[in-house]
Structure 1
């Protein structure tokens, strides 16, 4: 087969089913040869059992794990966190207490010829970080001066904490790779799309570190605040005495407050600087370790986020990229995003018209009724097109491992994964030039027949 076949697995699956059994199942059923172990997360998208709204997948414990906090699922060493207010924080989740997932998985995976990647996720919007001592010291500040649930990418304590965490893992475990994930966008995208699922839609970051960076760049910080407050009012239905459309008023704000785009770029540059620093640090510590990025699914919905996610630039500090291409749930998520922007800057524009505009801009051949999107999903052609676009952009400088949808949980009315869909998406990714695939989002949600469809497809291509 030749290509990497990865799968994302949280600690609780190894506790519930046993390390050997899990590795045997994914190796035999899905031909997996690389395990992406979720080692750091405050997000149930990577950790925990099946979510409450979905049926038992046929393996693992049936009981729900309600006590979920998150944190680190490996042993941490205090000396690596000496220069930050944020110390080590082992996940207190009772089901996995005392279980070091890398210590247990690495030797078992090696015996099977499997590679082991540590998957660390930066998502902190859930609010679960309130359990971590001193976390309020690293929070972003919004345009009204309030603390925001996300940590600031320029806060020295937050940056030092991530650098310490990376050093800790690379010096403590014989890893083959490291994948870093972050699912957030800048202030402009956050306001226009109301933040997306589970986010607050507020403009940020106006903490002292970001304001100082803005001053150094010559941005009028006061006007940036004013512009974002006005934009937030527009995006949330503020009245316009002139009667102009939301989009016209949006363009008017951008011309009146050029600081809006300047502040968006400032935030984006700070985020990219953090990623570059993490990559360089990891390669300094362990040159052989493959370092790559999980690229948020929002890249498939938001033209703004896509414009900022330049795979050609990303390849300068990546050994691989994982574009999230979950085609079954993509219809539901794209439908949600269109509905959000239709209530803000595109207020008054028919949702079908807006969807047709978006699919044209994004390059999708998905000519369906807008309201049918959740039940229809996006096709395997979407997977092929996005894989090919990514492969073309990185131009051989980084491997491309699309993340494929295996039973990502969605509401009842949304299209569900089937073996036929799995075969189609695996084929689409590889036909698009992918160097491998990563089965997502976590093993504890995946049905065994869908895992078997992966292996059957790969063996048929061998």
Structure 2
């Protein structure tokens, strides 16, 4: 088969089913040769058992794990966190307390010829970081001077914490790779309702570190705040209609306050600087380790986020990229996204018209009724197109491992994964030129027949 076949697995699956059994199942059923072990996360999308709303997948414990906080699922060493207010924080989740997932998985995976990647996820919109001592000291600040749920990418303590965590893992475990995930973007998208589920819609970051960076760049920080407050009022229905459409008023604000775009770029540059620093640090510590990025599914829905996710530039500091291409739940997520922006700067524009505009701009041949999107999902053609676009952009400088949807939980009315859909998406990714695939979101949600469909498809192509 040749290419990488990866799967994302949380610590609780190894505890519930046993390390050997889990590795045997995914190896035999899905031909997996690389496990992406969730080692750091405050997001239930990566850790924990099946979610409450979905049926038992046929393996693992049936009981729900209500006590979920998150944190590190490996042993941490205090000396690596000496230069930050944020110390080590082991996940206190009852079911996995004291279980070092890498210590247990790496030797068992090696015996099977499997590679082991550590998957670390930055997502903190859940608010679970409230359990971490000193975390309030690294939070972003919004345009009104309030703390924001996400940490600031320029805060020295936050940056030092991530660098310490990476050094700790690479010096403590013989890893083959490291994947960093972050599912957030800048203030402009957040204010416009462009940020997906569980986002607060507020403009950020106006902490002292970001304001100092803005001053160094020559941005009028006061006007940036003022512009974002006006934009927030427009996006959330508080602006005076005045006879003009929301989109026209949006463009008017951008011309009146060029600081809006300047502040957006300032935030984006800070985020990319963090990723560059993480990559460089990891390669300095362990040159052989493959370092890559989980790229948020929002890249498939938002033209703004896509414009900022330049795979050609990303390839300068990546050994691989994982574009999230979950086609089954993509219809539901795209539908939600269109609904969000239709209530914001596109207020008054028919949702079908807006959807047709978006699919044209994004390059999708998905001509369906807008309201049918959740039930139909996006086709395998979407997987092929997005894989090919990514492969073309990186131009051989980084491997491309699309993340494929195996039973990502969604409401009852939304399209569900089937073996036929799995076969189609695996085939689509490989025909789009992928160097491998990563089965996602997490093993604890995946049905065994869908895992088997992956292996059957790959063996048929061998």
**Alignment size in residue pairs:** 462
> Once superposed, which parts of structure 1, at least 4 consecutive aligned residues long, lie more than 6 Å away?
none
> Post-superposition shift, 1:70?
0.1
Asked whether the 8 Å contact 1:194–1:202 carries over to 2, the reply is no
Query: CA offsets, 1:361-385, max 9 Å, x none?
Result: 0000000000000000000000000
| C-alpha separation in 1, matches of 2:48 and 2:90 | 15
What is the 5 A alignment of 1:35-434? 35-193=35-193, 195-434=195-434
Query: CA offsets, 1:117-136, max 9 Å, x none?
Result: 00000001110000000000
Asked whether the 8 Å contact 2:194–2:337 carries over to 1, the reply is no
Query: CA offsets, 1:337-364, max 9 Å, x none?
Result: 0000000000000000000000000000
Asked whether the 8 Å contact 1:195–1:202 carries over to 2, the reply is no
| C-alpha separation in 2, matches of 1:391 and 1:195 | 25
| C-alpha separation in 2, matches of 1:387 and 1:411 | 27
Q: Secondary structure at the match of 1:133?
A: coil
| C-alpha separation in 1, matches of 2:356 and 2:273 | 35
> Post-superposition shift, 1:240?
2.1
> Post-superposition shift, 1:199?
1.1
TM-score scaled by structure 1? 1.00
Query: CA offsets, 1:33-82, max 9 Å, x none?
Result: 00000000000000000000000000000000000000000000000000
Asked whether the 8 Å contact 1:116–1:175 carries over to 2, the reply is yes
> Post-superposition shift, 1:241?
4.7
Query: CA offsets, 1:141-177, max 9 Å, x none?
Result: 0000000000000000000000000000000000000
> Post-superposition shift, 1:242?
1.9
Q: Unaligned 5+ residue runs, structure 1? A: none
> Post-superposition shift, 1:239?
3.5
Asked whether the 8 Å contact 1:194–1:200 carries over to 2, the reply is no
Asked whether the 8 Å contact 1:402–1:436 carries over to 2, the reply is yes
Shifted more, 186-195 versus 439-448: the winner is 186-195
Query: CA offsets, 1:271-317, max 9 Å, x none?
Result: 00000000000000000000000000000000000000000000000
| C-alpha separation in 2, matches of 1:241 and 1:270 | 35
> Post-superposition shift, 1:194?
5.5
> Post-superposition shift, 1:186?
0.2
| C-alpha separation in 2, matches of 1:411 and 1:125 | 21
> Post-superposition shift, 1:243?
1.3
| C-alpha separation in 2, matches of 1:204 and 1:338 | 23
> Post-superposition shift, 1:103?
0.0
Asked whether the 8 Å contact 2:194–2:302 carries over to 1, the reply is no
| C-alpha separation in 1, matches of 2:405 and 2:292 | 19
> Post-superposition shift, 1:193?
1.7
**1:6 matched to which residue of 2?**
6
Query: CA offsets, 1:392-441, max 9 Å, x none?
Result: 00000000000000000000000000000000000000000000000000
Query: CA offsets, 1:98-121, max 9 Å, x none?
Result: 000000000000000000000000
| C-alpha separation in 2, matches of 1:285 and 1:241 | 56
Asked whether the 8 Å contact 1:319–1:399 carries over to 2, the reply is yes
| C-alpha separation in 2, matches of 1:409 and 1:243 | 42
RMSD of Structure 2 on Structure 1 (CA):
0.5
TM-score scaled by structure 2? 1.00
| C-alpha separation in 2, matches of 1:341 and 1:167 | 40
> Post-superposition shift, 1:238?
1.8
Q: Unaligned 5+ residue runs, structure 2? A: none
